Amino acid sequence: MKKKAAGIQKESPANKAEETPRALPTQKTSAVQYSDRTGKPVIPKEVPKTEPAKPAPPSQPAAPQQQRDDRR
């Protein structure tokens, strides 16, 4: 029983390890499109949206506080 469990555990992490590195580059490629010719990151119209997205997370927690202040 223990030997079989050990064999299964060894196989599953190996399969996950192979899938993880493959998935990571896929996500990076979709987020930042690299041009095959130059190899430099292609900056589409999505980049301006990415910059405001960074200040957006701090503004989200602030939004509920403002609503509470307005109610008070």
Entry pTM:
0.13
Tell me the C-alpha distance between 59 and 44, whole Å: 25
Please count the CA atoms within 13 angstroms of the CA of 5 that sit on its side-chain side: 2
Distances from the Cα of 20 to the Cα of 17, 27, 28, 41, 51, angstroms:
5, 11, 12, 22, 28
Phi, psi of 4 (to 5 degrees): -65, -45
**Segment 9-68, tens digit of pLDDT:** 555 555 555 555 555 555 555 555 555 566 666 655 555 555 544 555 555 555 555 666
Tell me the C-alpha distance between 11 and 19, whole Å: 13
Domain residue spans of the chain: 1-31, 43-72
